[in-house]
Structure 1
Amino acid sequence: MTETFTIAVDGPAAAGKGTIAKALAEHFGFAHLDTGLLYRAVGAKHLLGVDPAKASQTLTAEDLQGDDLRGPEVAQAASKVAVIPEVRAALLSFQRSFACRAGGAVLDGRDIGTVICPQANAKLFVTASPETRADRRFAELAAKGAATSRAQVLADVKERDERDQDRVEAPLKPAEDAIVIDTTELAIDDAIAAAIAVVEPLRVR
């Protein structure tokens, strides 16, 4: 297969965009890139004292591995380094190259449909209420034995939302032509089915 078909999946933390993006990639046989991992890897390096701009320019495949990238401290660091123009510029080329790969690609993040791939064949914006997203993230962290509270997780979610939405460079928002999927009241299977229903007609045009 040499087809190029790009699916952009954006949305705030813990809305389900990563799970939906992975399911779309599996369903259509496309490659998948969690672009948030790029920023988490830069954030993790920054926590170790590495300059964010330098970290973004020297990322390796190994830097994208490890459960430590999923922790709340790294998540907050990722959100902070994501507002740095030099970091965003360094990671832009990699993401766009991935999006154009033969065989199709699904990218999930916060600015895929608005900045990285404004010409994507399909654009989704996956969201949910802050409270629902906090409940999901708290359950995930609790299962890993993380020492935190639901109140703290909700505060972190709201703080990150505000920072992501208010940043000058590529703020978090739906693309004008994105289809919004609110997962607040949806089971994951239903959310995935809704996403597939959006993309399927576009694949046969």
Structure 2
Amino acid sequence: MIIAIDGPAGAGKSTVARELSKRLNYKYLDTGAMYRAITFELINRKLEDSEDLEKVFKEIIDSIELDFVDGDIVLNGRILTKEIREPIIDKHVSKAASSKVVRSFLSSEQRKLAINSPNTILEGRDTTTVVCPDAQVKIFLTASLDERARRRYKELLKKDIKIDFEEVKRQIEKRDKSDTTREIGPLKVAEDAVVIDSTEKDVEWVVDKIFSLVRNKRKQLEYN
């Protein structure tokens, strides 16, 4: 079974997907981390302000290897955790997300990873509409802008990353606009997705709700 979770930045997709994967013993695939890893490489090469980003991204894609180990993204053999959650990545990740060459490459890679693993949970911003439109369970996880900004702000503080709350909120708002208006794979609710608003809800509540949906879907598949 493939479970796909879409939603805007800060909605809790990664946390929920990780916990759900543990409960179900499913493989966890953080598609957003793949875009962040490519953004990390872009910045590492000091090419984030290049006038021809499509050419730069093509060169990056042709020279890197991406993989996952225990849910963490691996770039050329290096596990990236905190590095891809830095504010500098937040600032530039929309460049990778809006790139035709990057989206085409990563969508294909993500689809292969999901198909090759019998039980997978994918989370990102186009997993239910582009990457795995045939997923058996589709979730659109959302929350209010203020709630998502607070979560992101607390996450950064725990990592000793100093940043103003209003700046975090502005970055998320900017990312929302970029995600919903981009030409390729814009963020939107799939027609058959279940919308879950996690505002003022804890992780356990959301995981329980999705777990119940998965259990019901399993029963339907067994009867069919």
TM-score with structure 2 setting the length: 0.85
What whole-Å deviation, never above 9, does each CA across 1:102-147 have from its counterpart, x for those lacking one?
4311110000000000000100010000100000101111121212
In the alignment, is residue 95 of structure 1 matched against residue 94 of structure 2?
no
Question: Which of residues 93, 106, 118 in structure 1 aligns to 2:133?
Answer: 118
Tell me which residue corresponds to 1:10.
6
Tell me which residue corresponds to 1:45.
41
Structure 2 residue ranges without an equivalent (≥5): 48-55, 68-73
Q: Name the stretch that deviates more: 89-98 or 71-80.
A: 71-80
CA–CA distance in structure 2, aligned partners of residues 191 and 56 of structure 1: 35
Question: Which of residues 22, 32, 41 in structure 1 aligns to 2:18?
Answer: 22
CA–CA distance in structure 1, aligned partners of residues 37 and 58 of structure 2: 12
Tell me which residue corresponds to 2:193.
178
Tell me which residue corresponds to 2:64.
59
SS state at 1:100 partner = helix
Q: CA 1:45 to 1:200, structure 2 compared with 1: closer, same or farther past 3 Å?
A: same
- Is the 8 Å Cα contact of residues 90 and 171 (structure 2) preserved in structure 1? no
Aligned pairs, number: 201
In the alignment, is residue 153 of structure 1 matched against residue 168 of structure 2?
yes
Paired AA for residue 59 in structure 1: I
Question: Which of residues 22, 25, 30 in structure 2 aligns to 1:34?
Answer: 30
SS state at 1:12 partner = coil
Paired AA for residue 60 in structure 2: A
TM-score with structure 1 setting the length: 0.93
- Is the 8 Å Cα contact of residues 43 and 52 (structure 1) preserved in structure 2? no
- Is the 8 Å Cα contact of residues 7 and 124 (structure 2) preserved in structure 1? yes
Paired AA for residue 97 in structure 2: A
CA–CA distance in structure 2, aligned partners of residues 58 and 38 of structure 1: 15
- Indicate the RMSD between aligned Cα atoms, in angstroms: 1.4
